[in-house]
């Protein structure tokens, strides 16, 4: 009987695990450079955690079941609720809190380009301050990760603010704000007529719905926000503090990256718990869905506890960024410098080859031959491992205390005393 993998899940072979390890390693290093500390959460949570936070729409997408104790539980579809649950369970943690994690998440959705039913996600959050600086720091971390993955120029950041968008919607006669947010969140997936019809159902006239479509169709420089809003929202409702904070946040983000930062009214984020700034990063060619997204969620802690903890954060799944990195030619494993394949032609006792391999491993990667195949097969294996050099060790080398070093790129080789070879590795190794 042949058993296939389940739809929406991945078998991950070494050729993809190497680049994925690099992706997550870069993200984790950048987070820790920024002062974030790593946390982890259970893969299984109470389903009520998501009912409280996101409502039945998200619950319908979960891998949930009743366990043997009669409890409704789910494989976690998001990281943030668990992190907030953790934080609110202890009152001895000083703030601000900077936490990150790399969980596996599960959602029962229709698989498509950039979306699977299981994926790995990098998440980072700052808890405590409700400031433009905290917002910028989180978005700056996201940009720094993308830049460190050599994706400079491949993406742009788009920010918006739910409070400003809500004021805009009300000025257009819209009465069902949450329904309008849901229509706007699907903006890139629908045509203009479908969008206009959807907005009209929330209370706007056709003319007002068409005006909204025009406004959200064209991202613009963050510094132009006040000019874009003037004439659309009554002056007494504009909220100068909010707009000045958004423009200041945009200015701060520009200190982290040279990538474009735009204001985009179509960014609202589908989850209802966002309370202020929201943001996403997109590839500049518009080929893929958003690379990452997040925003400010100041009310979530209060839903789960008696604590009021402002928060801002983002999540970046590995599926879309893999597509982007492959298109940019950046989907490759991390380089560890020169590496060595110890090819053994010894008959009987192979201790000399293994001693050599283990000595190399103090300084470099070394793969030692563990089969009885011939030299030609071993050289093919050496090339398949990505090693840069092969060390050929036969009875002659073992007897004379030498190794024959072959450059797997040029084919050139030379014989050195083993101690001389190891000394050269030690000198070349970073201290």
pLDDT in tens, 156-178: 999 999 999 998 898 888 889 88
CATH architecture of 14-41+79-327: 2-Layer Sandwich (3.30)
- Looking at every residue in the chain, the average pLDDT score rounds to 92
Contact criterion met (CB below 8 Å) for 357 and 366: yes
Contact criterion met (CB below 8 Å) for 34 and 136: no
The larger pLDDT score, comparing residue 58 to residue 308, is at 308
Contact criterion met (CB below 8 Å) for 181 and 268: yes
Q: Which fold has domain 339-428?
A: Rossmann fold (3.40.50)
What is the rounded CA–CA span in Å between residue 343 and residue 394? 8
User: In the predicted model, what is the mean pLDDT of residues 300-324?
Assistant: 94
Residue 133's alpha-carbon distances to 117, 205, 294, 313, in angstroms, are 35, 39, 15, 13
Q: Which two tokens stand for residue 340?
A: 């060595």
What is the rounded CA–CA span in Å between residue 284 and residue 152? 11
What is the rounded CA–CA span in Å between residue 311 and residue 67? 32
User: In the predicted model, what is the mean pLDDT of residues 30-43?
Assistant: 98
CA angle, 98 then 92 then 99, to 5°:
15
Secondary structure letter of residue 3 according to DSSP = -
pLDDT at residue number 284: 93
What is the percent of the chain with per-residue pLDDT over 70, rounded to a whole number? Answer: 97
pLDDT at residue number 240: 78
User: In the predicted model, what is the mean pLDDT of residues 409-430?
Assistant: 92
Task: State phi, psi for 380 to the nearest 5 degrees.
Answer: -65, -40
356-376 burial, b for 16+ CB within 10 Å, e for fewer? bbebbeebbbbbbbeeeeeee
pLDDT at residue number 54: 65
| Domain spans, the chain | 14-41+79-327, 339-428
21: number of CA atoms within 13 Å, CB side? 11
Strands (E), 41-180: 44-46, 63-66, 72-75, 97-101, 104-106, 118-127, 155-161
pLDDT at residue number 304: 86
User: In the predicted model, what is the mean pLDDT of residues 410-430?
Assistant: 91
User: In the predicted model, what is the mean pLDDT of residues 47-55?
Assistant: 79
Q: Residue 211 pLDDT more than 80?
A: yes
Q: Residue 51 pLDDT more than 90?
A: no
Q: Quick one: pLDDT band at residue 386, thresholds 50, 70, 90?
A: confident
pLDDT in tens, 110-149: 888 888 999 999 999 999 999 999 999 999 999 999 999 9
Q: Residue 347 pLDDT more than 60?
A: yes
Instruction: Using only the alpha carbons of the chain, give its radius of gyration.
Output: 27
pLDDT at residue number 235: 62
pLDDT at residue number 55: 60
The larger pLDDT score, comparing residue 235 to residue 141, is at 141
pLDDT at residue number 227: 86
pLDDT at residue number 430: 63
User: In the predicted model, what is the mean pLDDT of residues 3-10?
Assistant: 93
Across 45-59, 113-127, 182-196, 322-336, least confident range: 45-59
């Amino acid at each position: 009987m042949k058993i296939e993998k389940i739809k929406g899940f991945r078998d991950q072979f070494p050729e993809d695990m190497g680049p994925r390890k690099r992706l997550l390693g870069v993200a984790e290093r950048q987070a820790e450079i920024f002062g974030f500390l790593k946390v982890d959460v259970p893969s299984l949570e109470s389903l009520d955690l998501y009912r409280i936070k996101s409502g039945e729409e998200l619950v319908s997408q979960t891998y949930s079941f009743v366990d043997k104790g009669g409890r409704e539980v789910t494989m976690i579809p998001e990281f943030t609720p668990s992190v907030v649950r953790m934080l609110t369970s202890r009152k001895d943690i000083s703030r601000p809190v900077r936490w990150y994690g790399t969980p596996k998440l599960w959602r029962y959705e229709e698989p498509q380009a950039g979306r699977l039913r299981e994926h790995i996600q990098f998440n980072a959050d700052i808890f405590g301050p409700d400031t433009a600086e905290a917002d910028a720091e989180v978005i700056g971390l996201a940009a720094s990760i993308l830049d460190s993955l050599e994706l400079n120029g491949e993406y742009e950041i788009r920010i918006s603010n739910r409070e400003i968008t809500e004021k805009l919607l009300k000025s257009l006669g819209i009465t069902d704000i949450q329904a309008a947010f849901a229509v706007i969140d699907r903006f890139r997936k629908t045509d203009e007529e479908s969008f206009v019809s959807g907005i009209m159902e929330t209370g706007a006239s056709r003319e007002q719905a068409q005006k909204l479509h025009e406004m959200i169709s064209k991202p613009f420089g963050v510094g132009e926000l006040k000019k874009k809003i003037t004439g659309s929202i009554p002056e007494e409702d504009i909220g100068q503090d909010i707009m000045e904070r958004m423009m200041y946040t945009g200015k701060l983000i520009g200190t982290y990256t040279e990538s474009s930062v735009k204001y985009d009214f179509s960014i609202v984020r589908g989850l209802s718990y966002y309370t202020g700034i929201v943001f996403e990063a997109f590839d500049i060619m518009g080929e893929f869905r958003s690379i990452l997204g997040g925003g400010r969620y100041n009310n979530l802690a209060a839903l789960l506890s008696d604590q009021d903890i402002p928060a801002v954060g983002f999540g970046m799944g590995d599926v879309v960024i893999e597509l982007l990195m492959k298109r940019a030619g950046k989907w490759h494993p991390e380089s560890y410098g020169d590496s060595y394949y110890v090819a053994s032609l010894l008959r009987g006792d192979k201790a000399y080859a293994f001693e050599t391999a283990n000595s190399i491993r103090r300084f470099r990667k070394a793969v030692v031959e563990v089969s009885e195949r011939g030299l030609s097969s071993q050289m093919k294996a050496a090339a398949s491992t990505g090693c840069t050099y092969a060390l050929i060790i036969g009875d002659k080398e073992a007897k004379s205390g030498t190794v024959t070093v072959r450059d797997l790129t040029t084919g050139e080789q030379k014989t050195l005393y083993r101690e001389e070879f190891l000394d050269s590795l030690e000198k070349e190794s970073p201290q």
